[in-house]
Amino acid sequence: MLTYILILMLTDQKPLWYLEGMDLFVSPARRQVVVTEAGDVFFLNKKESKLLHFNARGERLKDAADRGQGPGQFNRGLFIQYMEGLLSLYERGRVSYFSPTGEFLESVKPPQSLTYLNRVKNGWVACRGLSMDPSEPLELVVYDLNFTSSEVLGTWKSEKERQGKLHIPPDQIRTSSVLSYNPADDYTLLQCSRDGRYVYIRPSCLPHISIFDLETRSQIGKIFLGEERLPFNKEWGEEAIAARKEMGKRYSLRIGIEGRFPDFFPQIETMQFSWDNHLIYRKWKSYPGVPGETTSFYKDSDWVGFSPRGEPVKTTTHDFYTARVIAAYKGTTWFIHALPDESYTVARCPTEKLAEVLAANPLPKTSPY
């Protein structure tokens, strides 16, 4: 089955041209595609283990990488990122670097057991300590590009200590599966600003988001979420468990321990860094929506926005739109676009028109967003 890259020109709202591709998206994933300052587009084709390369005119060039064990090859790429003139392809146990024109440069080996690995200015940032042992402390660590040096930016108490009696009793926290299959998981979330300078981390069960400046290697502030906690809705939880069971039949997902709902909803339902350079989050509601579907009772007004340094701001284009944006350069923004047959591709439009275009192109209910 063929899929297409569709580039939109907003002068007439009609497709300008199409580019034939090969199953580029199994499901839409922002970290499966990057765009350089020159407009070159790279796709991580997970199905065929290829790194596809297109120029700014939409012409397919020689693949930057394909399946294999040699230099510039990979077997199971997980995501790609682009920053400071380097395209990074991450797979378990290895990061490969490519130039903005697709030439392979080198491969390096990151430490094992890292989570939320993200490319930032002059290196990488990740969490350490989110293992199967909930008594292990959580660390925020910054690495250089070669993973040869590191620095701990922040340390927090273990998951078991943070949870206390507010979420799941400590004697019930035996493995992370108890937490990760809860329908309202209180994930440790980590986000980075688009320029790679600022890092935002919200350790689970703590009522604040910590902000770190990578230029000064210091914490510059906190965003407080308040002490109020929303009682967990067990009716909604049962519906969510049932939806996961149904999903498990289709996708062979393992369902974890049932019935151990927390006493409260987490304080944040999701946290993202938006296309307009704002940190945004929204809190849970007592009945968030239909479990297993993207339908939600949230509105734009439910989102709270902050500048990169943590000052409250009024932000735009929230909800499912934010996660669809890939890159923005010089007034043009690239984003994930839904085609009529419910396949996905990449489109571009003037940044000032982005909210309007995304609102007119909602993703289907089968989308993970």
What pLDDT is stored for residue 180 in this prediction?
A: 41
Identify the residue whose tokens are 């300008």. 16
Q: Single out the residue of 236, 91, 222 nearest to residue 156, CA to CA.
A: 222
The amino acid occupying position 189 is L
Q: 38 or 179, which is more confident?
A: 38
Contacts 24+ apart (CB under 8 A), 156-164: 156/203, 156/206, 158/129, 158/134, 159/130, 159/134, 159/135, 159/204, 160/134, 160/135, 161/135, 162/203, 162/204, 162/205, 162/206, 163/134, 163/204, 163/205, 164/205
Instruction: Tell how far CA 92 is from the center of its chain.
Output: 17
* Angstrom distance (rounded) from CA 197 to CA 121: 6
- Mean local confidence (pLDDT), 162-169: 58
In this prediction, residue 201 has a pLDDT band, given cuts at 50, 70 and 90, of very high
Q: Ranked by mean pLDDT, which of 1-5, 13-17, 58-62, 195-199 comes out on top?
A: 195-199
What pLDDT is stored for residue 228 in this prediction?
A: 83
Q: Does 255 score more than 50 pLDDT? A: no
Q: 165 or 145, which is more confident?
A: 145
What pLDDT is stored for residue 302 in this prediction?
A: 79
Identify the residue whose tokens are 């906190």. 222
Q: Single out the residue of 1, 3, 90, 82 nearest to residue 41, CA to CA.
A: 82
What pLDDT is stored for residue 356 in this prediction?
A: 82
4-13, 139-148, 229-238, 255-264: range with lowest mean pLDDT: 4-13
Question: Pseudo-torsion of CA 312, 313, 316, 322, nearest 10°?
Answer: -40
In this prediction, residue 262 has a pLDDT band, given cuts at 50, 70 and 90, of confident
What pLDDT is stored for residue 294 in this prediction?
A: 44
Q: Single out the residue of 331, 329, 336 nearest to residue 351, CA to CA.
A: 331
Q: 262 or 364, which is more confident?
A: 262
* Angstrom distance (rounded) from CA 146 to CA 151: 14
What pLDDT is stored for residue 99 in this prediction?
A: 97
In this prediction, residue 148 has a pLDDT band, given cuts at 50, 70 and 90, of very high
- Give the list of residues 6+ apart from residue 76 with CB closer than 8 angstroms, or none: 46, 49, 91, 92
Q: 351 or 322, which is more confident?
A: 351
Contact 33, 41 (CB under 8 A): yes
Q: Does 116 score more than 60 pLDDT? A: yes
Percent of the chain with pLDDT over 90: 32
What pLDDT is stored for residue 184 in this prediction?
A: 77
What pLDDT is stored for residue 330 in this prediction?
A: 86
In the beta sheet, which residues pair with residue 325? 335
Element (H, E) at 241: helix 234-251
In this prediction, residue 351 has a pLDDT band, given cuts at 50, 70 and 90, of confident
Q: Does 222 score more than 60 pLDDT? A: yes
What pLDDT is stored for residue 27 in this prediction?
A: 62
Q: Single out the residue of 41, 52, 124 nearest to residue 84, CA to CA.
A: 124
Helices (H) and strands (E) in the chain, counts: 4, 24
Q: Does 256 score more than 50 pLDDT? A: no
Contacts 24+ apart (CB under 8 A), 225-229: 225/267, 225/268, 225/283, 226/267, 229/166, 229/264, 229/265, 229/267
The string of pLDDT tens digits covering residues 74-98 is 988 889 999 999 999 999 889 999 9
> What is the residue-averaged pLDDT of the chain?
78
